[in-house]
């Protein structure tokens, strides 16, 4: 390959995964620069995430990305170690439990069939089996549950981000603290990234990995990326309740909860889901959480909120799936956007995929072309039914 300077805008988990996979790629000879405006990552989704990983998707490509993600997390101490530091991401292997009432049971069964074609280790449990396995769960209104047996769980997302970043830097990647303002292009190719101070950084390739802030960077490129920030609140709660072997539970209402040390994390999609609102926790939402969680787990009637935070899903309004691969009009501008709540677990697969597109000219390990921006132009959504 003759091209040699790749500029990645956004040094969150996606940008840093791309940087690492490029720098580690045997056929990539160039230089990688990551532009990150806030190295403390205060508002980055990667630090505000619930950082869980599942295989229970309804589309094979999402399942395959998670399968690679899980294997990557398991081996991370070897893969991303640097001299005198082996990363510890605290991967807990624990299943997701999707719950369905009578009306949702058919969808769960349909998804199960897709998951079986991908060798996902998942079990369907009827009401009696749910009651037996999770005696602390209220099951009277449930018809079915889908429980991940292997290959799902949760981890420390900030540690994953730092591990990618540290390893990328050890391989020669440069992180620059500044803000990008857009991409300079001519004759169908990006040749520089405009910076806030009025200067530009020349490049042979550019990558948009700016998370919830990716859309405005593409103004003046002829493609409107329908990605917005959708705020999600996470509540940390304590309770005297006992929930042995608690999975990550997804209630039919959309409420989710999972254990975190001696506490539990929980959240629910907001009723009024506005775009790009400030990252302030809406404490009124906790009332809705409480009502549902205490119904689902009677022991949670005694529940105390310890703290809460809010972060953005970088939400693809078109079909809630990642937009990955070349910009439709500027082939040397790669998009890695719109993961819509599953970007932590998909960061290894996305990073490897974009690195292959740049270094090899095509996907080598896992074909991610279904996620390309072309589907938006063709008005062909890739529907993922299991969005949390």
Nearer to ligand FAD, 9 or 323 (CB): 9
Nearer to ligand FAD, 242 or 284 (CB): 284
Interface pick for ligand FAD out of 203, 344, 358, 382 (rule CB under 6 A) = 344
Does position 13 bind ligand FAD by CB under 6 A? yes
Q: How far is the CB of 35 from ligand FAD (least distance, A)?
A: 5
Interface pick for ligand FAD out of 114, 206, 209, 218 (rule CB under 6 A) = 209
Does position 14 bind ligand FAD by CB under 6 A? yes
Cα–Cα distance between 123 and 134 in angstroms, integer?
14
Does position 249 bind ligand FAD by CB under 6 A? no
Interface pick for ligand FAD out of 9, 99, 137, 289 (rule CB under 6 A) = 9
Nearer to ligand FAD, 7 or 147 (CB): 7
The vertex-206 CA angle with 200 and 208, nearest 5°, equals: 105
Interface pick for ligand FAD out of 57, 68, 205, 312 (rule CB under 6 A) = 312
In Å, how far from its chain's centre is CA 166?
20
Residues contacting ligand FAD: total by CB under 6 A: 40
Interface pick for ligand FAD out of 143, 342, 351, 372 (rule CB under 6 A) = 342
Cα–Cα distance between 162 and 146 in angstroms, integer?
33
Nearer to ligand FAD, 139 or 221 (CB): 221
Give the distance between the most distant pair of CA atoms in the chain.
65
Does position 232 bind ligand FAD by CB under 6 A? yes
Cα–Cα distance between 147 and 112 in angstroms, integer?
10
Does position 49 bind ligand FAD by CB under 6 A? yes
Does position 229 bind ligand FAD by CB under 6 A? no
Does position 225 bind ligand FAD by CB under 6 A? no
Cα–Cα distance between 174 and 19 in angstroms, integer?
9
Interface pick for ligand FAD out of 93, 156, 179, 360 (rule CB under 6 A) = 179
Contact positions with ligand FAD (CB under 6 A) in 109-168 = none
Q: How far is the CB of 2 from ligand FAD (least distance, A)?
A: 27
Interface pick for ligand FAD out of 23, 32, 52, 120 (rule CB under 6 A) = 52
Contact positions with ligand FAD (CB under 6 A) in 258-297 = none
Contact positions with ligand FAD (CB under 6 A) in 358-377 = none
Interface pick for ligand FAD out of 145, 151, 325, 343 (rule CB under 6 A) = 343
Instruction: Tell whether the torsion through CA atoms of 48, 51, 52 and 53 is positive or negative.
Output: positive
Nearer to ligand FAD, 125 or 217 (CB): 217
Nearer to ligand FAD, 80 or 180 (CB): 180
Q: How far is the CB of 133 from ligand FAD (least distance, A)?
A: 23
Cα–Cα distance between 250 and 243 in angstroms, integer?
15
Does position 56 bind ligand FAD by CB under 6 A? no
Kindly list the residues in this chain that would bind ligand FAD in the complex (CB under 6 A). 9-15, 35-38, 41, 44-46, 48-52, 179-180, 209-213, 217, 232, 234, 311-314, 339, 341-345
């Amino acid at each position: 390959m003759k091209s040699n300077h790749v500029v990645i805008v956004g040094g969150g988990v996606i940008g840093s995964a791309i940087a690492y996979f490029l720098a580690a790629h045997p056929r990539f000879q160039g230089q990688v620069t990551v532009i990150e405006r806030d190295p403390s990552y205060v508002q980055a989704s990667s630090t505000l995430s619930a950082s869980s990983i599942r295989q229970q998707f309804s589309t094979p490509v999402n399942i395959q990305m998670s399968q690679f993600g899980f294997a990557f997390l398991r081996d991370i101490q070897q893969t991303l170690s640097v001299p005198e530091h082996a990363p510890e991401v605290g991967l807990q292997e624990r299943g997701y439990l999707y719950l369905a009432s009578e009306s949702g049971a058919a969808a769960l069964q349909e998804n199960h069939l897709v998951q079986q074609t991908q060798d996902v280790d998942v079990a369907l449990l009827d009401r009696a089996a749910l009651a037996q396995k999770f005696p602390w769960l209220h099951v009277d209104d449930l018809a079915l549950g889908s429980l991940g047996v292997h290959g799902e769980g949760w981890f420390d997302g900030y540690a994953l981000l730092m591990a990618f970043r540290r390893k990328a830097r050890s391989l020669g990647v440069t992180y620059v603290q500044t803000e990008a303002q857009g991409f300079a292009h001519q004759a169908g190719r990006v040749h520089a990234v405009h910076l806030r101070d009025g200067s530009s950084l020349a490049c042979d390739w550019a990558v948009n990995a700016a998370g919830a802030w990716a859309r405005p960077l593409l103004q003046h490129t002829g493609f409107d990326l329908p990605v917005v920030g959708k705020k999600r609140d996470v509540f940390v709660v304590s309770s005297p309740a006992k929930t042995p072997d608690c999975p990550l539970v997804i209630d039919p209402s959309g409420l989710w909860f999972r254990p975190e040390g001696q506490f539990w994390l929980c959240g629910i999609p907001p009723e009024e889901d506005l775009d790009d609102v400030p990252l302030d926790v809406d404490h009124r939402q906790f009332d809705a959480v409480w009502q549902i969680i205490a119904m689902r787990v009677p022991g949670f009637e005694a529940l105390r909120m310890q703290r809460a935070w809010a972060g953005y899903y970088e939400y693809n309004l078109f079909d809630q799936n990642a937009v990955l691969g070349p910009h439709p009009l500027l082939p040397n501008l790669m998009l890695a956007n719109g993961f819509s709540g599953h970007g932590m677990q998909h960061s290894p697969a996305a990073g490897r995929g974009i690195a292959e597109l740049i270094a090899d000219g095509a996907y080598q390990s896992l074909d991610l072309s279904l996620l390309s921006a072309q589907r938006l132009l063709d008005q062909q959504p890739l529907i993922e039914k299991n969005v949390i």
